Structure 1
C-alpha cells in the first residue's frame, strides 16, 4: 500500500471515530483505560526487513520485497483473572489477542497467517497527561499457510508453525485515549529450536491504528 494511501486511511479513521468517542475517555489513562475499554480492534501495515531483531533495535534496517497487513482483536483480562493477578507486580495489563495477517511479496505466492498470543502491557506512564502511551510485549504462536521466502533464504529446515513475538508502542491524545496510533515489530522465529525449525524467522516493522471499546 502506498504511503500516501496509508496516511489517508489513518485520517479517515480519526474523522470517523472521534465524534463517537465517549466523554468519560478523557478522564481515563494508564491501566484504567484498558479496564474501562477491555476490547480493541486494530489494523497494522508493516514492511518486511531482512535484519534480525538485535539490528532492528539498533536502527539497522534493510527492506525485503514483502509487506503485510493485519487485523487484530484483543480482550483485556479481568482484574480478578488468575494470570493477571499473578503477574500484577510486574505487568499491569494482560490481554488475550489474535490477528489475521496477509503477506504479499514479489517472489512468493500470497500467504495467510494466523497469530494467537498474550499481550503484556505497561500503561501507567508518568507523562500520560500530555501523551497517552503504552509499551507492550506479546508472546504466542504463528501459523502461515506457506513459508515466506525470507524464512527460506538461509535455511531449508523451515516450518509453517513458529513462535510469535510482538513489540509495540501506542500513542494517543489525552482527550481521546481510546483512539491510538501504534508502532510495532511483528516477529516469527523458530525460538532457538523449540519448534524444531532451523535458525529461521522473519521481521516486519510498521504502524497501525487501534480503537478501544467496551
Structure 2
C-alpha cells in the first residue's frame, strides 16, 4: 500500500503541475463530473487495505463513472449521485453496473495549494455474471451485492481536472445480500473532469 500511495502521490503532483487552471471555484460551479479509472484486484479484506500491507492478483477493471452533486450540507460536505459502468478482465470477464450516493468532504487547510476531497459512497452493484473471484471457500455468491466507494481526489486549485485514488468494494454486508458473506476489493486510480 505504501508503494501505491507514493506512486499515486508522485503521479498526481507531476500531472497537476501541467494541468490548465479552470474557472474560479471549480468544485462548486461545475456540479457534474466524469471519472475514468483502472484498478487491480486484492484478495485482502477491506480493513487490511487501509491499515496493512496487501497483495495484488492478475485481475483488473476499467471503469467510467458519471456523478452529479445534488446537495450541500454547509460549505464542506457535498452529496452526489454516481453511476458506474465497469469492465472486468484478467481472471474474470464480465461487466458491472453500480449506482450509489456519495458523501464528499471538501474542506482541508491545504486546499489553497492542492484542492483535496475525501469521499465515501454507498449503493448497489450488479454483475452480469457471478464474479469468479467472489467464488471461494464454498461461499454463497450473488450478482447483486452492496457497493462501497472510498475516494481521495487531488487537483490544482480552481482546476476542473483532478486525480482520483479509489477503492472499489463489493460485498454481501455480512450476509444481508442473499446470504453472501464475501465480496471483492479493487484498488485503483484515475482522472476526472468537472463540468
TM-score range (shorter-chain normalised) is: 0.7 to 0.9
- Structure 1 residue aligned with 2:84: 99
Secondary structure, counterpart of 2:179 in structure 1: coil
- Structure 2 residue aligned with 1:155: 138
- Structure 2 residue aligned with 1:4: none
Q: Note the residue ranges of structure 1 that are not aligned, 5 or more in a row.
A: 1-6, 79-83
Secondary structure, counterpart of 1:141 in structure 2: strand
Residue by residue, what CA displacement relative to the aligned partner does 1:57-106 show, whole Å, maximum 9, x if unpaired? 1132111220000000001104xxxxx5xxx2696100011100000123
Cα separation, partners in 2 of 1:192 and 1:41, compared to 1, 3 Å: same
Q: Kindly indicate whether residue 155 of structure 2 is the aligned counterpart of residue 172 of structure 1.
A: yes
CA distance in 2, matches of 1:138, 1:198: 20
Aligned partners of 1:45 and 1:70 also within 8 Å: yes
Cα separation, partners in 2 of 1:90 and 1:139, compared to 1, 3 Å: farther
CA distance in 1, matches of 2:101, 2:193: 18
Aligned partners of 1:155 and 1:200 also within 8 Å: no
Asked which structure has the greater CA Rg, the reply is 1
Secondary structure, counterpart of 2:57 in structure 1: strand
Q: Quick check: 47-56 or 57-66, which moved more?
A: 57-66
- Structure 2 residue aligned with 1:117: 100
Cα separation, partners in 2 of 1:74 and 1:175, compared to 1, 3 Å: closer
TM-score computed with the length of structure 1 as normaliser? 0.78
CA distance in 1, matches of 2:75, 2:130: 36
| Alignment: residue pair count | 183
Output aligned runs, 1:56-205, within 5 Å: 56-78=49-71, 84=72, 88=73, 92-106=77-91, 108=92, 110-176=93-159, 178-205=160-187
CA distance in 2, matches of 1:45, 1:142: 17
CA distance in 1, matches of 2:76, 2:98: 22
> Going by fraction, where is helix more abundant, 1 or 2?
1
Residue by residue, what CA displacement relative to the aligned partner does 1:20-49 show, whole Å, maximum 9, x if unpaired? x64x23xx2xxxx43311000000100000
Secondary structure, counterpart of 2:192 in structure 1: strand
> Going by fraction, where is strand more abundant, 1 or 2?
2
TM-score computed with the length of structure 2 as normaliser? 0.85
Q: Note the residue ranges of structure 2 that are not aligned, 5 or more in a row.
A: 1-7
Please report the RMSD computed on the Cα atoms of aligned residues, expressed in angstroms: 2.4
CA distance in 1, matches of 2:153, 2:174: 29
